[in-house]
Amino acid sequence: MTTFVLTQQQPPVRIRTRLTRRGRVVIAALIVLPLLIGAGALAANSGAVAGAVGTSSAAFHHVTVRSGDSLWSIAERIAPQYDPRDVVAALVDLNGLQSSVLQAGQQLAVPHEYDGR
């Protein structure tokens, strides 16, 4: 004959895991970092697309550099009512000029605000 002894069962022991401050920082970084990378990539791509669209559709009036011309003389010729310093700066920016040296026959794009159209 088998006898069964009834014993009182102990309640299960609950082990609580505590998240430390460093653990919270790591989890937050794992969540936020991919979002920041995605936002940066999206911003970089949208800027490139906007730049590509803007440059392909823009039509500029061009001026041909004559012998003895300087950026200053061209600025005075194409926009006599404006300050030549502003026009020269706009010509340099628009045409991506590295120096003020010009060659006779060179084509320079004229910014829209100074083309007189």
The domain limits of the chain are: 22-58, 59-117
Just give the CATH number of 59-117: 3.10.350.10
| pTM metric for this prediction | 0.50
Q: Give the closest residue to 24 by CA, choosing from 12, 32, 15.
A: 32
DSSP letters along 53-73, please? Answer: HHHHH---EEEEPPTT--HHH
**pLDDT in tens for each of the 117 residues of the chain?**
677 766 777 777 888 888 899 999 999 999 999 999 988 888 877 765 555 544 444 688 899 999 999 999 999 999 999 999 999 999 999 999 988 889 999 999 998 888 775
